[in-house]
Structure 1
Amino acid sequence: MGWPLLIAAVLLAIAGPVACLYLWNRVKGRLAIAARLFMIVMCQAFALLVGGVSVNHYFEFYASWSDLFGGGKGEDTPIEALGPGAIGSGNVRFQRTPKLDPDVYTATLTGERSRIRSRILVWVPPGYNSPANAHQTYPVVELLPGYPGTPSTWFHAVHGASALKQAVAAGHAHPFILVAPVTTVIHGRDTECVDFPKGPRVETWLTDDVRQAVTKAFRAQPDRGAWGLMGFSTGGYCAAKMAVRRPDMFGAAVTMQGDAVPQTPEVQRDHALNAQNSVLDLLRTHRPPISLLLAGTRQDRHSDEAIDQIMPLIRPPTTAFLYVLPKGGHNASVWNSMLPKSYAWLSSRLSAPRPS
């Protein structure tokens, strides 16, 4: 993440073509063609290196070499309970999708309230379809991806289902139905889960419409104490914002490296809309009876700053818990390392499966 690597990459990108010009006619013999091809490839590689390092330097996807090559330390980091003002860093048919996961169902529907037509993925826990559990109802965690992202990210790069299965098998969490709706309802437009005055009404889609579809089609508990939110990056911001705005629908939310305020210029230009969707402004005027898990890393300055901004605004009955890893950038490896404890935390805040 430091400047030395970026400067070294730039120097290599300059030195490559210079060396190529100097050596081009000096390479002779049977290996001349191979040597010249090698020089061309190296010049291209140095150019790509500059681009990759520059993008990573700006967005902080990977904060260290160990972060790039794996080795998340989420299990070694405790969740800290925060005191007040703490300061610190139905009629829809769901079809199985075996290519994605044998326990995932999907449906495309038009929301009754938002009128958005989009897709929902629903994962059911092991034993859901067993005759012995035919009358068992389950709590729900709604999973929100970043932007650009799709709900299937939660079942590939981010191991949303497999991490929950492992946590349940280890006795650290109880089973949930996992619901991953499409958040980018208009291709190429980052709506940040906002209800725009002239549409689209994305928050309404993700709250009212998704819940109605899932509770009609699955044995999902409908009350607020059984529904939680979890998201990474932009999805983390959406999780925190929607939990604060809709405490009638959600009891807890996990924000993994999410922002505290809208980042989309379209929202920022509308002062009223910006205030209605800023986690900071909402917490200044609202004290919803919800629990928030604020997860980030010390090396991701954006999420660290967001956590520092949110924590002083927490007032009862709102409660917040801090989960900050010492290392890690803004990437799937970090989010995967956060999942086991996030599911355990959600299990302590939301209801358990129960007979209908």
Structure 2
Amino acid sequence: MGLMGWPLLIAVVLLAIGGPVACLYVWNRVKGRLAVTVRLFMIVMCQVFALFVGGVSLNHYFEFYASWSDLFGGGKGEGTPIEQVGAGGVGGGPARFERTPKLDPDVYTATITGEHSGVRSRILVWVPPGYGSPANAHQTYPVVELLPGYPGTPSTWFHAVHGAAALKEAITAGRAHPFILVAPVTTVVHGRDTECVDFPGGPRVETWLTDDVRQAVTRAFRVQPDRSGWGLMGFSTGGYCAAKMAIRRPDLFSAAVTMQGDAVPQTPEVRRDHALFAQNSVLDLLRAHRPPVSLLLAGTRQDRNSDQAINQIMPLVKPPTAAFLYVLPKGGHNASVWNSMLPQAYAWLSGRLSAPHPA
């Protein structure tokens, strides 16, 4: 039984209902010295079942963890090997991108070891309609790298957050041109919110998300290699990462969308290191640099943190850096808000990243 999906959710709901019913049936039948202990145990188990319902329901909606291996520290792909896309291996090793029909027929996955970071983790890649057509065999595509919040997994972008579905609709409606969507694992150490930072002594998460992911995808897919064809988009912590990495690596990216992202790191271990904090604070970076990148700052007035972050970032933006606002009057910090932002985000990215063209 998978961590995601209805079977587990139904099972824990039945347990939560069955627990109190069993309690009522057994309560007065327990006699002797163990009666108090057994009754206390039954009360505790009823509470545990209730907590399971809450936890599984939240995970079912937000997809914090997509599988048991994600939850307990694994995270290897479960791809079905059908065909390799593009030419050559990935990351200098034997890894190949494989189709994942259980997730999406147009999504491929590979687990690689980054040559630059040493991080071993997973990447999901979605190819747009027509990518495999013989007529487009020499077409190269721009890339949008998708970053989830914490805790979260790449597959969140293909279920709770409708990254691929929204792009398909935008392409069909003529509001966006085709992109290849790349969703790498950002939580490379289980249970540790690294906020896409290169830590002294490791893990080098930013290097994994920039140099290594780019290298792996460029070797396996027909993507445009220059910065004009690469953008970033993330929600929550992933939104902060998108803005930060675009500012820090304008040699690799030309545009980024941050949906309800912070302006500064929140992880205590980063905040305690003043030099590391300054190197990863969007505010400090904009005070010190003016990279030629475009930022779309998306948020809602009701989400005080993202509204505050936008108000802190905007006064620091100086040419050639450009910032654009997309602020909704209402909405919390959740997937439904991020989904409502996607059509505008893809349209905005289409105006700043190059369109597909022959190699």
- Same fold flag (TM > 0.5): yes
* CA–CA distance in structure 2, aligned partners of residues 201 and 118 of structure 1: 12
Structure 1 residue aligned with 2:179: 176
Residues in 2 aligned to 1:331 and 1:285: alpha-carbon distance in whole angstroms: 32
Pairing 1:89-128 to 2, within 5 Å after superposition: 90-92=88-90, 93-128=96-131
The 5 A counterparts of 1:66-77 are: none
Letter of the 1:288 counterpart = P
Deviation at 1:247, TM superposition (A): 0.3
Give the CA RMSD over aligned residues: 1.9
Among 315, 320, 345, the alignment partner of 2:318 is 315
Report the Cα distance in structure 1 between the residues aligned to 2:206 and 2:89, rounded to whole angstroms. 22
CA shift, 1:91, in A, is 1.6
Q: For residue 295 of structure 1, what is the aligned residue in structure 2?
A: 298
C-alpha distance after superposition, 1:257-294 (max 9, x if no partner): 00000000000000000000000000000000000000
Alignment of 1:331-342 (within 5 A): 331-342=334-345
Q: How is 1:186-201 mapped onto 2 (pairs within 5 angstroms)?
A: 186-201=189-204
Equivalenced residues, count: 277
Aligned match for 1:133, one of 127, 132, 136: 136
Counterpart in the other structure of 1:244: 247
Write out aligned runs for 1:1-356 (5 A): 90-92=88-90, 93-356=96-359
> How many Å separate the matches in 1 of 2:233 and 2:346?
9
Inter-partner Cα distance in structure 1 for 2:189 and 2:316: 33
CA distance in 1, matches of 2:301, 2:323: 18
Q: Could you tell me the TM-score, scaled by structure 2's length?
A: 0.75
Tell me the TM-score normalised to structure 1 length.
0.76
DSSP-derived class of the 2:354 partner: coil
- Mapped to 2, the partners of 1:174 and 1:158 lie a distance apart of 20
**Pairwise CA distance, 1:210:** 0.3
Higher relative contact order (CA 8 A, sep 6+): 1
* 2:327 alignment partner AA: V
Moved segments of 4+, more than 3 Å: none
1 CA distance for matches of 2:254 and 2:99? 29
CA distance in 2, matches of 1:345, 1:267: 32
Aligned partners of 1:310 and 1:240: how far apart in 2? Answer: 10
CA distance in 2, matches of 1:345, 1:180: 19
Structure 2: gaps spanning 5 or more residues: 1-42, 63-87, 91-95
